[in-house]
Amino acid sequence: MLKRTLIGIVRSFESTGEKAKDPALRTRHYNLPMDKLWDETITLLKKLPGYKLLHEVKNVGEIVVERRTMLGRTQDVTLTLFSITPVHSAIDIYSASRGSLGDFGSNYRTILDIYGALDKKLAAYKK
């Protein structure tokens, strides 16, 4: 966690991907069709405290939410959902803080928060 805070002093974004060095930031895969994963994700984000749904484009698989940090900064979080097969979908997240200073690891914690909530809700479908 200290390493994340130190990186966050200069960096104000974080993203996930298939080849992420940190296992916590690897793309999440679920044994669910894209439509079902989309519905579950939208429902979860609407209920997650501190998150405000701004924009959703289902045909592109993109959801944009806004989150305020404890320090009052605003983060723009983009979730990208994509279909791998008809019954297997995945989610990647990109989180960036507005402003020029680093985020002290808050974008990293935001991604872990969303992934944690999704993993808990969709535990039966996690790949």
The tens digit of pLDDT for each residue in 31-76 reads 999 999 999 999 999 999 999 999 999 999 999 999 988 778 899 9
Residue 101 has pLDDT above 80, yes or no: no
Q: What is the pLDDT of residue 7?
A: 56
Q: What is the pLDDT of residue 2?
A: 56
Nearest to 24 by CA among 57, 1, 52: 1
pTM: 0.90
**The two three-digit tokens of residue 65, written as one number:** 């939410």
| CA atoms lying within 13 Å on the CB side of residue 124 | 3
Quote the Cα angle for 57-45-104, to 5°.
105
CA distance 93 to 64: 10
CATH number of 2-125: 3.30.310.220
Percentage with pLDDT > 70 across the chain: 92
Q: What is the pLDDT of residue 73?
A: 85
Q: What is the pLDDT of residue 123?
A: 94
Q: What is the pLDDT of residue 1?
A: 53
Q: No. of H helices and E strands in the chain?
A: 3, 6
Q: Which residues contact 60 (CB under 8 A, 6 or more apart)?
A: none
